[in-house]
């Protein structure tokens, strides 16, 4: 995830939390639920991007090792 993607996800997460707190303090259930949804969505997006980056790094590590494993264990 790029630095801008991380910043955007974090800003959306914080905005969602602020809206959630506003809803809680003013008894506005719609604002609270909307804020919670925004926060959870931003957290999920950030987690998905991190997992994607981890998979990319793992793939690069396998390529760098030069593994000759063809997935046919025991066949030979």
What does the domain layout of the chain look like in residue ranges? 3-55
CA angle 31/33/37 to nearest 5° reads: 115
Between 2 and 49, the more confident residue is: 49
State pLDDT tens for residues 23-39.
999 999 999 999 999 99
Mean pLDDT of the chain: 84
**If you average pLDDT over residues 10-24, what whole number do you get?**
94
* Other Cβ atoms closer than 10 A to 73: 7
With beta carbons less than 8 A apart as the criterion, state whether 45 and 16 touch.
no
Between 33 and 2, the more confident residue is: 33
Residues 6+ apart with CB under 8 A from 42: 9, 10, 12, 13, 16
């Amino acid at each position: 995830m790029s630095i801008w993607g991380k910043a955007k996800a974090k800003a959306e997460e914080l905005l969602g939390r602020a809206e959630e707190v506003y809803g809680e303090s003013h008894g506005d259930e719609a604002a609270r639920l909307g804020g919670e949804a925004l926060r959870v969505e931003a957290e999920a997006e950030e987690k998905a991007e991190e997992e994607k980056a981890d998979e990319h790094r793992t793939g690069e590590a396998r390529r760098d090792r030069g593994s000759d494993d063809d997935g046919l264990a025991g066949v030979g």
